[in-house]
Amino acid sequence: MVNRGIRGATTVTRNDEAEILRETVVLLREIVERNHVIAEDICSVWITMTEDLDATFPARAIREIEGWEMVPLMCSVEIPVKGSLPQCIRLMVQVNTIKTQREIRHVYLNEAQKLRPDLSQDKS
């Protein structure tokens, strides 16, 4: 097994606690489903949000998922680059796997599809 990073990003329509939590879970579940991983395989999850989102910690949503209570989570603010995509939540899920880099399925949802159109479509 090796450690691989699975990237993912999504956006919300407003700085709202419920929407941030909901979209974080949607993104994580999509990453897990497309890559066929379980919480026990996860080393850690790094979560960033753009500066315009401060209504809640997105890690809260992940901690509430059954089986994910012990997964190490860390939240941070994304670098505020001029012209960058607003209202964006990004995940870097580090997972133990036998998959190659090319077999990893990165996930970009909502407006975040603009970040990596080459990776935004599920190619499974």
At 4-39, the pLDDT tens digits run 999 999 999 999 999 999 999 999 999 999 999 999
Find all residues with CB under 8 Å of 39, minimum gap 6, and list them.
Answer: 65, 67, 68, 70, 71
Residue 28 has what DSSP assignment?
A: H
Q: Give me the pLDDT at residue 79, please.
A: 95
What are 34-80's pLDDT values in tens digits?
999 999 999 999 999 999 999 999 999 999 999 999 999 999 999 99
Give the active site residue among 4, 88, 90, 105. Answer: 90
Catalytic (active site) residue 60:
no
Catalytic (active site) residue 51:
no
pLDDT > 70 fraction of the chain, expressed in percent and rounded: 96
Domain 2-114: give its CATH code: 3.30.1330.40
The answer to whether 22 touches 61, Cβ cutoff 8 Å, is yes
Catalytic (active site) residue 111:
no
22 labelled as ligand-binding?
no
Q: Which residue has the tokens 């999504």?
A: 10
Domain boundaries, the chain: 2-114
